Amino acid sequence: EAGVVQSPRYKIIEKKQPVAFWCNPISGHNTLYWYLQNLGQGPELLIRYENEEAVDDSQLPKDRFSAERLKGVDSTLKIQPAELGDSAVYLCASSLARGPGELFFGEGSRLTVL
Amino acid sequence: GNSVTQMEGPVTLSEEAFLTINCTYTATGYPSLFWYVQYPGEGLQLLLKATKADDKGSNKGFEATYRKETTSFHLEKGSVQVSDSAVYFCALNNAGNMLTFGGGTRLMVKP
C-alpha cells in the first residue's frame, strides 16, 4: 500500500515569492492534516480536513497561507507571499477515522526562503 | 490547553545501553498517548501508543506506560542499537484525531 506522498521534497525560493505544496493521502483516509515543523521542534498543526471540509484551521495564518482539499482526496497548501520565517518542513498526514488512531505521515516538504 | 514536554537532547548512548526518554503531559480528561519516531530522511512513524491509564505500549523492544498519577509516558528500551538512532516525539490526542507533539529528543547510539 502506498504511503502519504508529498511534493516537492525540497523548495528554495526568495522572499515574497509564492510556493505550493501538494499531498496525496493514503487511499481511503478521510482525515488529512498539514503540520508545520520548525528546526529542532515538534510538529504543530496548521489545518485538519474531514473529507473536503476544513474542521480546524485556527492555527493557519490566513493572511498568507491557504489550503484546499478538492474532492476530499489530494490537498494543496499555498503560501503567498513567503517570508523568511516560513522556512520549515511542511508535513502532511492522513488517518482513517476520528478517534485516537494512528496518523500516517509523508516525508515532508522542506522550504527554504532566502 | 494540551501540552507535551520531553527531555531535551541529544541523548548519546553506547550500543546495548539502557534508554529512558522522559515525557510528561498536560491535558484535561483522558488523552491517548503516543511515541512517534523519525529516522534520518524519513517521515514520522508511530512507534507505540497507549489509550488509557496503566496501559503499556510496546514495539521493537521499546516500552512506555501511561501513568495518569504522574501525567507521564516515559519511553524505555533495555538495549539500544545503532539503528535506533533517530528523533523521538511524544504526543497526545485529546480531541478527535488531533495530535499535540513534544519538541522531540534526538537519540544517537554509538557502536
pLDDT tens figures, B20-44: 999 999 998 889 999 999 998 888 9
pLDDT at B96: 65
Cell numbers given for A79: 503560501
Nearest by CB: B103 against A42, A91, A101: A42
Name the residue with cell 480528561: B29
pLDDT tens figures, B46-78: 999 999 999 999 999 999 999 999 999 999 999
The answer to whether residue B70 neighbours chain A at the CB level (below 8 Å) is no
The answer to whether residue B96 neighbours chain A at the CB level (below 8 Å) is yes
Residues of A in contact with B51 (CB under 8 A): 100
CA distance A5 to A17: 24
pLDDT less than 50: residues of chain A: none
CA distance A108 to A36: 9
Return the number of other C-beta atoms located less than 10 Å from residue B7's C-beta. 17
pLDDT at B97: 66
Residues in A lying within 8 Å of B, measured between beta carbons: 3-4, 31, 33, 40-45, 48, 55-56, 91, 93, 95, 97-108
- Run of H or E residues at A77: strand A75-79
Q: Are A104 and A5 in contact (CB under 8 A)?
A: no
pLDDT at B90: 97
Rg of chain A, C-alpha, whole Å: 13
Angle at A95 between CA A91 and CA A99, to 5 degrees: 120
Determine the straight-line distance between the first and last CA of chain A, rounded to whole angstroms.
Answer: 37
Band the pLDDT of B12: cuts 50, 70, 90.
very high
Q: Are B6 and B103 in contact (CB under 8 A)?
A: yes
Amino acid, res. A11? K
DSSP 8-state secondary structure symbol assigned to residue A68? E
Q: Are A42 and B102 in contact (CB under 8 A)?
A: yes
